[in-house]
Amino acid sequence: MDIDLADLDFWRRPLKERHEAFARLRQADLPVFFPEKKVPLLRSGTGFYALVRHADVVEASRNAKVFSSEPAVTNPEPPGWVKHVFGESMVNMDDPRHARLRRIVSRAFSPRMLQGLQADIEKACARIVDDVIAKGPGDFVSQVAARLPIHVICDMMGIPESMRAKVHEHVDASTAYSGVRPSLLQSARLAGKNVVALLALQRMVIQLGHERVAEPGKDLVSALVTANPDGEKLTDKELGSFFALLLVAGNETARNTMAHGIKLLTDHPAQRELLMSDFDGHVNGAIEEMVRHVSPIIQFRRTVTEDFALRGLELKKGDRVVLFYGSANRDEEVFPDADAFDITRDTKPHVGFGGPGPHFCLGANLARQEMRTMFRELLTRLPDIRSVGEPELLVSNFDNSVRSQSFTF
């Protein structure tokens, strides 16, 4: 089989070729094993089984007791010093530690909290479109998709306006390292930028946390550093790790989906026309279909904690499996004509926000809210907006990120 998911060259292939490769992998009787290659500055294991069918990804997501998120969900695994410098991210934890952190931070994503954000999101979208009209056509990522999620997150956290340009800069530097890099020099250069960016983000929010302890406000940082009804609050390192996770995961999901989404609406004019004919009636379906089609996060890894039989495959304790969300979201057994973009499709079982279980994306409803509001503003005020040419994609085995996408109106 001329497919190697552990090789960076595979992730350089055009999206269409990659989707065809995953379709072939889904036809295999059992999950395929891929030996890992040695990657500079990262830990290399023996390899992993690729879970590419929807049912397998759902099973591994639900059964967190067998399919552990520890020691790390990224593949390849970062070096051990990372957690000592930055603290542990909740995505790399199992219960009860994961459950404790999720309880504390979940207050940020309650229906009441999200409802309170709507007016601010609407104002931000209007301001972004004002700027697009004033500046004219250009790059959809920098002018639209990258701006909204970070604005919303900074508002939630209470990050002062004077610090937000630096937040943008640090987030871009940190996400540039999300792929596997081929050379020691390139890995070292990007890893250095990544470390500096993440440390800067953490120092920024930790300092803000200290200020909020002394003078609490109505922002999320104040809520996280003061005890909840159970007496739980975040430590400095936990606050820093959460902020980094929120900026990277929360930003990339909405940003990537919107950037790919404008291309999807351009390439499928009948679907675009259907959406615009009854925006309120179709927008929720359109957003879910975009997330399914795009799968903004490509994969997460799990480590098997005990011998387990998965669809006839005898997994052993210590084996690693990688959940490929984009492949699961095109599984023909669940999504007929899976490569088609259809905003009327029943997309309820998609795993674009992760599979069901304890690690399902906490910010999924916030991302939906942002995208729904942004597309309403764009299509109402710029009804002829469309992408131009092909997007420039980040070469990554983790993040289905659009670096730039030309557009006009």
Looking at the chain, how many residues does it have?
409
Under the banding of pLDDT at 50, 70 and 90, the label for residue 80 is: low
Q: Does 315 score more than 90 pLDDT?
A: yes
Under the banding of pLDDT at 50, 70 and 90, the label for residue 107 is: confident
Under the banding of pLDDT at 50, 70 and 90, the label for residue 232 is: confident
Query: Over the range 245-270, which residues count as b (16 or more CB within 10 Å of their CB) and which as e?
Result: bbbbbbbbbbbbbbbbbbbbbbebee
Q: How far apart are the first and last CA of the chain?
A: 44
**Predicted local distance difference test score (pLDDT) of residue 83:** 58
> Within a domain: residue 18?
yes
DSSP 82-151: HHHHH---GGG--TTHHHHHHHHHGGGGSHHHHHHHHHHHHHHHHHHHHHHHHH-S-BHIIIIITHHHHH
Mean pLDDT of all residues belonging to the chain: 88
Cis peptide before 76 (omega within 30 of 0): yes
Backbone angles phi, psi at 64, to 5 degrees: -70, -20
> Within a domain: residue 81?
yes
Distance CA 190, CA 163 (A): 23
31, 56 in Cβ contact below 8 A? yes
- pLDDT tens digits, one per residue of 57-68: 999 999 999 999
Average pLDDT over residues 249-260: 90
Token pair 């399914």 is at which residue?
Answer: 292
Q: Does 69 score more than 90 pLDDT?
A: yes
**Which residue type is seen at 311?**
R
Average pLDDT over residues 304-325: 96
Distance CA 222, CA 157 (A): 8
> Within a domain: residue 2?
no
Under the banding of pLDDT at 50, 70 and 90, the label for residue 173 is: low
Under the banding of pLDDT at 50, 70 and 90, the label for residue 184 is: very low
Rg (CA), the chain: 21
256 Cβ contact partners less than 8 Å away, ≥ 6 residues apart? 145, 294, 296, 399, 400, 401, 402
Average pLDDT over residues 197-210: 84
Distance CA 148, CA 53 (A): 33
355, 48 in Cβ contact below 8 A? no
Summary count for the chain: helices (H), strands (E): 17, 11
- 258 vs 348, higher pLDDT: 258
**Which residue type is seen at 191?**
A
**Predicted local distance difference test score (pLDDT) of residue 78:** 63
Distance CA 59, CA 304 (A): 12
Distance CA 376, CA 374 (A): 5
Average pLDDT over residues 83-99: 79
Pairing of strands 320-324, 47-51: parallel
Three-state SS for 168?
A: helix
> Within a domain: residue 3?
no
Give the residue among 140, 171, 141 at the shortest CA–CA distance from 153. 171
Domain count across the chain = 1
- pLDDT tens digits, one per residue of 158-169: 888 888 877 777
Q: Does 85 score more than 70 pLDDT?
A: no
> Within a domain: residue 398?
yes
User: Helix axis angle, 147-157 relative to 251-267, nearest 10°?
Assistant: 150
**Predicted local distance difference test score (pLDDT) of residue 390:** 96
Pairing of strands 386-387, 308-310: unpaired
Distance CA 145, CA 371 (A): 9
> Within a domain: residue 242?
yes
**Predicted local distance difference test score (pLDDT) of residue 336:** 95
**Predicted local distance difference test score (pLDDT) of residue 110:** 87
Average pLDDT over residues 203-212: 90
Domain range spanning residue 251?
Answer: 8-408
Q: Does 302 score more than 70 pLDDT?
A: yes
**Predicted local distance difference test score (pLDDT) of residue 19:** 96
Average pLDDT over residues 300-311: 96
Region label for 285, one of left (φ > 0), alpha (ψ between -120 and 50) or beta (otherwise): alpha
> Within a domain: residue 1?
no
Under the banding of pLDDT at 50, 70 and 90, the label for residue 203 is: confident
Three-state SS for 322?
A: strand
Q: Does 180 score more than 60 pLDDT?
A: no
HSE (CB half, 13 Å, CA atoms) of 209?
A: 22
Cα 298 from chain centroid? 8
For residues 48, 49, 54, 59, the Cα torsion angle rounded to the nearest 10 degrees is: -90
Distance CA 128, CA 142 (A): 11
**Which residue type is seen at 9?**
D
Weakest mean pLDDT among 60-69, 132-141, 269-278, 391-400: 391-400
> Within a domain: residue 199?
yes
Average pLDDT over residues 210-228: 87
Distance CA 80, CA 90 (A): 16
Under the banding of pLDDT at 50, 70 and 90, the label for residue 82 is: low
Three-state SS for 77?
A: strand
- pLDDT tens digits, one per residue of 4-48: 999 888 999 999 999 999 999 999 999 999 998 766 555 556 899
CATH of the domain at 27: 1.10.630.10
